[in-house]
Amino acid sequence: MFYNNKLLLKLKKKFTKNLPPIKGFVKILNKKLGILETDKNNIYYISSVYFKYIMEGDYILANIENNDDNKLQVIPIKLLKSNVNIFQGKIKKKNDIIYIIPEKKILHKNLIKCYIKKDIKNNFKDGEKVIAKIIKHPLKGDSMFIAEITEYLFNNEYLMPWWEVLLKYNLSIEPPSNTLCEKIKLLDDNIFRKDLTKLCFITIDSKDTKDIDDALYIEEISEEKILVYVAIADPTAYIQKDSKIDKIASQRMFTNYLPGLTIPLLPKFLSENFCSLKPKKKRPVLICKMIINKNGFLSKKIIFFTGWIKSNAKLNYNDVSDWLEKKGTWKPKNNEIKKQIIFLYKFYLYRKKWNDQNIINFNNTNYKFIFGEKGYILDIVIEEKRIAHKIIETAMITANICASEILYKKLGFGIYNIYYGFNISKLKKLINLLNEYNIKYDKKFLMTLKGYKTIYNKIYDLKSSFILNRIKKYQLITLFNTKPGPHFALGLKRYATWTSPIRKFGDIINHRLIKSIIHKSSNIEKPVDDIYINMNQKRYLNKQAKKDLSNFLYLQYFKNMSIRNKIFISEIIDILFIGIKVRFIENGAYAFVPKKFLCTNNIIINQEKGLIFNKQKLLYKVTDKIKVIIKKINIDSIIVKII
């Protein structure tokens, strides 16, 4: 009735003329119809006339207008974000011009003209599979869609599962090109750098690590104090703010560590050569100088400065751990290096006293896939955190605490890691759980740093893995922010990292800010307001990609091994109304016990408390260790039965 009301339609046309542009996601339904869906779930039509300017999944700015049928439609005017940057497709040649047909339909015509990356072969044949990325888009001022072929799949087809997962989350599948470094040079050679190349700095990392970003040197001041130098690789000495490399890094945000594949934040020429703190190579660094006393406390006198160092040795975690634990045959090659390892261990023991009083250790077990040729899984092992790992981790956390304070006191902003502990919306359930164990505190106390530490200390005293598991459900996650905030798990009022600038863009930002403080720069720019939102989103996507890929690799692993009647000792990690979720202790695989396999009609499942009863008798609880056998491997899950 209202649709045919002519007066109403005239009013509608009048008002749409003055409407502001709207934002939304593009969906192409068929050859003639597309829609724009806004964040508030409003739907607007897109005429097929505009299909040549848009792509499936584009987040765009558009103007509203009325068409001849008096339907509200939109005119695309600007690309805000593309959800399809990298994609898989097949080659199609026409008149000596190379096109790519995307595997998934993303365009109306679905045929995109291609350029070829310099280091990729160019004698492609029709039908060959490639990976490409969109480099030109009409809504960014270009005349048409153009893609660049970045990967030829013939030689690396075994990596397809990795690429498919990365493409699913619109993540990069390759390192930034080394061609970006062709004109690289030291940018800040006019600033003063203290020459510490004569000091015996050492690095400790994994045996195969090439992007070495931290080195340490320690002097003993007295029996009760030590002086610690933490030197961190300085990529900002080479990367100009807002340069092409900088913009690419700001899009990636992190080096993406996946089982069997690492996608670096920076071009390898930078991360593994120019910036890497290789032994016997003079490198520009940012240094934190601090004093630690025998009780683990930091002196108030913390100094940051720029410098030059030359690492004396690249050591690996296992060798150093073996030597400290008096195992194996490895030993330091000279007395200077030996002294540094002894001092580092002393530093760790000093700092451990502070850590034990302030840091909450969750003691999660990590697992590592061991690969052979072309992605074949040889084994899955527990990745043990040994003493050398703990020494370096402690040094980096301590140096980060120093950076947090200088950023807070001098600027009041930076890139901070924020963790507020318990979720305020779940505090009632948490209080009910704690009351069952006679741990009684109110909401206000639980939302404080002291309250968080107190609760964990009480639970550790009870030695209850069950309660520790249950309270995980009531916790928040760590987030990035440009404003200082507490990190409850580290027992700190604020925490900002700067020790991994080769691997984290947020650390690059903090490097620039710290260097601005050192050199007393005027008009220091605050990071753009939405950068921490992009960081949080990218870290989430990286974690999802790692989770998906790990699940796929576990399924492949079990398909290739003899599992008939093999018994797996597992821990119950969650109880649901539909069954039990378990994790194999031997290799970390997740599996599911359906409710129908629990063998009784009198079963009562309490999902909230993580308990299963048979009548009044407790049958299973979260953290119980049980024996299971694999009954079925589905496309996305492992189904097991308790024996």
Annotated active-site residue 58? The verdict is: no
SS3 string of 163-188?
A: HHHHHHCCCCCCCCCHHHHCCCCCCC
Q: Which of 58, 211, 234, 507 is catalytic?
A: 211
Buried b (16+ CB within 10 A) or exposed e, 137-171: bbbeeeeebbbbbbbbbeeeeebebbbebbbeebb
Q: Are 58 and 36 in contact (CB under 8 A)?
A: no
3-state secondary structure 330-359: CCCCCHHHHHHHHHHHHHHHHHHHHHHHHC
The encoded tokens of residue 489 equal 């798990």
* Alpha helices, DSSP H, located in 425-523: 427-435, 443-446, 449-462, 465-471, 505-518
Is 242 designated active site? no
Is 246 annotated as catalytic?
no
Cβ count within 10 A of residue 361: 10
Residue in 44, 50, 152, 205 annotated catalytic = 205
Nearest to 324 by CA among 386, 270, 275: 386
Helix axes 387-410, 335-358, angle to 10 degrees: 70
Cβ neighbors of 446 (< 8 A, separation 6 or more) are 421, 422, 427, 430, 431, 452, 455
Tell me which of 44, 50, 152, 214 is the catalytic residue.
214
* Angstrom distance (rounded) from CA 623 to CA 309: 49
* Residue 317 annotated as catalytic: yes
Token pair of 328 as six digits: 């194996």
Find the Cα–Cα–Cα–Cα dihedral 580, 585, 590, 592, rounded to 10°: -30
Which listed residue (99, 217, 317, 452) is catalytic? Answer: 317
Supply 168's token pair. Answer: 């699913």
Q: Are strands 214-220 and 366-371 parallel, antiparallel or unpaired?
A: unpaired
Q: Per residue in 472-493, is it b (16+ CB within 10 Å) or e — as a string? A: eebbeebbbbbebbbbbbbbbe
Side-chain half-sphere CA neighbours of 359 within 13 A = 17
State the Cα–Cα distance between residues 271 and 279, nearest whole angstrom: 15
Q: Give the DSSP H/E element, type plus range, for residue 100.
A: strand 97-102
Q: Which of 193, 283, 503, 583 is catalytic?
A: 503
* Identity of residue 439: I
User: How many CA atoms does the CB half-sphere of 468 hold within 13 Å?
Assistant: 17
133 by DSSP, 3-state: which?
strand
Strand segments (E) across 183-248:
194-195, 202-205, 214-220, 225-233
Q: Which of 44, 99, 152, 213 is catalytic?
A: 213
Q: Is 214 a catalytic residue?
A: yes
Is 503 in the active site?
A: yes
Catalytic residues: 205, 211, 213-214, 317, 503
